[in-house]
Structures are given as C-alpha cells and as structure tokens.
Amino acid sequence: MKKRLAVFASGSGTNFQAIADACADGRIPGAQVVLMVCDVPGAPVIKRALDAGIETMVFNPKAYAGGKKEYEKQIASRLDELGVDLVCLAGYMRIVGDTLLEAYGGRIINIHPSLLPSFRGAHAVEQAVEYGVKVYGITIHYVDAVLDGGKIIAQKAFEYDGNDPAEVHRIGQIIEHQLYIDTINKLLG
C-alpha cells in the first residue's frame, strides 16, 4: 500500500510539483499525493494541483472567525478522512498551530532555504546574503511548536560568493526539489 502524502504550499509550488511528479513517475515509488492544501486563494500552486488531478483544499485564513484553531481543525479532519501518513510543507508560509501539531505531530516536515539553525523565518535567503555568508544551504526538518526549530532530517550545502538573492534562490530550488524527493523516500523506508 502506498503511503499517502499531503503537501501544503502558499505560492508558486515548484516543490509541490517536484513531489507530485516524482510520485507519479515512480521516483517516489512508495507514495502518492492525495491532497494539496493552500492558504492563499489564487496562488499558482493551485493550478499545478488541478492539472495533476490532485484534490485541493484552498482557504483564506482571514475568513475564519475562530482563526487558526478553526481552519486547522478543518484541515486535520480532511487529513484524517484521506488517511494521510505524512504532511510535507513546501513553501507554506504560515506557522503550524497546536491543533495540527496535536493531530499530526511527528508526521509533519518542512523545507527551509537555509542551513538551520541559521536564518529562520520568512526571508532566510535575503538575510543570509545580507550577512555575507559564503556557504548556503537547504534544510528539511520535523515541524514542532518552534518556528523552523524541529529536529533536522536532511541538509545540503552549496557555495556562492555573490550578493544576488535571486541567484541563491535559483540554485537553492534545484537542490530543494531533489532533496525533498530523496528525504521522502528515506522517511518512507
């Protein structure tokens, strides 16, 4: 039986695409993506999921009077219904709250564009360039209550001696896609 993945994303969705393609063409032989969750109505990742025939759950956090607790409850019940084994955050630019952590703690992983614990948060690459670092990298880690703070599963470094954040993003994303595929395969055993 294939493991069932949910991918959460907020933007362009290149990591979502990489995971979905790898599941579909056998590079992740042990899993299938059963749900894409997006907190930004209109984000490009939604079309990617629809084109791939993957169920999408799109929500606007501002529309929930009960806030994070209420929308996370809704997400968690859909994850339960679909029998999701692993949640992959892929550019999901929102802090995961108690409701999801209580239900899926230990089964949520995130990809982050820095060598954690350096440069946590939303503008990791820009901060690293500003700092003048020469070795950049990508981290995949378990998600817990601390922002970008959970136990590290995989990291990959690369050298770059320049000051263009767009170039760091470009190099980093190529690494991200393969690292996410390799890490999912490793976790699924």
- Min. distance of Cβ 58 from ligand GAR in angstroms? 15
According to DSSP, the β-strands at 3-9 and 31-38 are parallel
The single residue among 3, 14, 22, 33 that binds ligand GAR, judged by CB under 6 A, is 14
One residue of 13, 35, 54, 136 binding ligand GAR per CB under 6 A? 13
CB of 90 to ligand GAR, least distance (A): 5
Residues 91, 109, 150, 168: which binds ligand GAR (CB under 6 A)? 91
How far does the chain reach from its first CA to its final CA, in angstroms? 13
- What are the E-state strand segments in 113-161? 135-142, 152-159
- Which residue(s) pair with 33 in the sheet? 5
Q: Does residue 176 touch ligand GAR according to CB under 6 A?
A: yes
**Rg of the chain taking only CA atoms, in angstroms:** 16
Residue 56 binds ligand GAR (CB under 6 A): no
112 is catalytic: yes
Cβ 6 vs Cβ 79: under 8 Å: yes
For ligand GAR, which residue of 6, 9, 38, 46 counts as binding (CB under 6 A)?
9
Q: Is the dihedral angle over the CA atoms 79, 85, 90, 94 positive or is it negative?
A: positive
141 binds ligand GAR (CB under 6 A): no
Tokens representing residue 179 in the block: 């690292």
Binding site for ligand GAR (CB under 6 A): 9, 11-15, 90-91, 111-113, 122, 124, 173, 176
Active site residue ranges: 112
